[in-house]
Structure 1
């Protein structure tokens, strides 16, 4: 991607303000993580420190500190004398990680049905309707942020610290792929249907039902991502032929 292309995609996809000095470290990490999740920084892309510093309005020191954090999360690869690039999962790693995540989501749902409070359920319902509004406006970033908030709230309602820590670590590696799974409209609408069913199961406190929905929901996302990558690889091969 050329510099001008990066600038144009950044401007159109993120609409984020310059980073303020207050809470600089956490803000820089969050901004770059969002670039990765929304595909502004694509898998395998080598990071240009100068461009990122100019975009975020920061010096290289906080940027490099942020990249170290993202490397620890598995989102960035840093190689000596070669700089940093966005991590790219192999097909086998992608399959295995989504399988693991499907189990974590299912267990979260089962425990949440036993332990969720009325206030937490009301918050999830509000997020659900806000998510539907974003879908109606074809606002994928807005939809995704509320979608992920719902999954996070279900995991938090499980009230299991060990599960929570594992969930956070695994989910960070999959967020960009979960975002991409909605690029095709039929897949996006299927996800909406799944969330409707999730809410019904949660309201009924039906843990087995919610666990089954969440497990299949994540496996469907895995399949959508694999299909998308296969199509992209085929298109790339055709261009090179």
Structure 2
């Protein structure tokens, strides 16, 4: 077979691997594949309707990015999250949320408040319909909109960068947490503070919301870490589950 005949097949394989990789990143970011979860190649091949070749090419890329790990006898797993680094990032985010709230109170315009309120209504609809993944996405968008309303581009850029670091952790906790209703109530308070010019507590409300979210995320991930260690040990040859 000539090289010109093989090349299109190679390109299609690479394109398929890139698409699979993109879908896996979303699954990891949104908690469908939580930290430490074993990646079942057979199940994913069926779900994506692909062979193992493009799937493994995608997994190799995710390993190089640090999102997935591979070990002999254990196979592929979603990479664990550095909890110490995550906690430090959350601490910084609490302060940025409060700063954004303080500046937004002074600078936010009516059109921005209206846009946030409209998105909040969609969040409520997702909550009532049990659409957790869509709720999570809209939730993140609202927070960024509030930060952007501070009219401080440096703050917006730093905040977006830090949120990208904790997105996977928040997605993992979002898939497992029972705090959803409480978070929804806190978002109602945030909107009330935004829509009432006389309301001066927005910085404190945003900071408390950030701290409550971080506390729940860390609790869920600590439980997940213990379960992951236990499962990993039980899968090693000659090692049973700890008693």
Normalising by structure 1, what TM-score?
0.69
In structure 2, runs of 5+ residues without a counterpart are: 1-15, 232-240
Contact 1:112-1:155 within 8 A present in 2 as well:
yes
Displacement of 1:194 in angstroms is: 0.7
Name the counterpart of 2:3.
none
Residues 1:76 and 2:73 aligned together: no
Name the counterpart of 1:39.
31
**What CA distance in whole angstroms lies between the structure 1 residues aligned with 2:19 and 2:203?**
34
Q: SS at the partner of 1:227?
A: helix
Residues 1:163 and 2:163 aligned together: no
Name the counterpart of 2:95.
103
Please say which of residues 163-172 and 88-97 is displaced more in the overlay.
88-97
Question: Of the two structures, which has the highest relative contact order with CA contacts closer than 8 Å and spacing of 6 or more?
Answer: 2
Q: SS at the partner of 1:146?
A: helix
Deviations 1:126-185 (A, max 9, x none): 111111111111110121111111111111111212111111111011112223444333
Contact 1:112-1:207 within 8 A present in 2 as well:
no
Contact 2:104-2:146 within 8 A present in 1 as well:
yes
In structure 1, runs of 5+ residues without a counterpart are: 1-23
**What CA distance in whole angstroms lies between the structure 1 residues aligned with 2:23 and 2:110?**
33
Name the counterpart of 1:240.
242
Contact 1:113-1:205 within 8 A present in 2 as well:
yes
Matched positions, count: 212
Root-mean-square deviation over aligned CA pairs: 3.9
**What CA distance in whole angstroms lies between the structure 2 residues aligned with 1:29 and 1:199?**
37
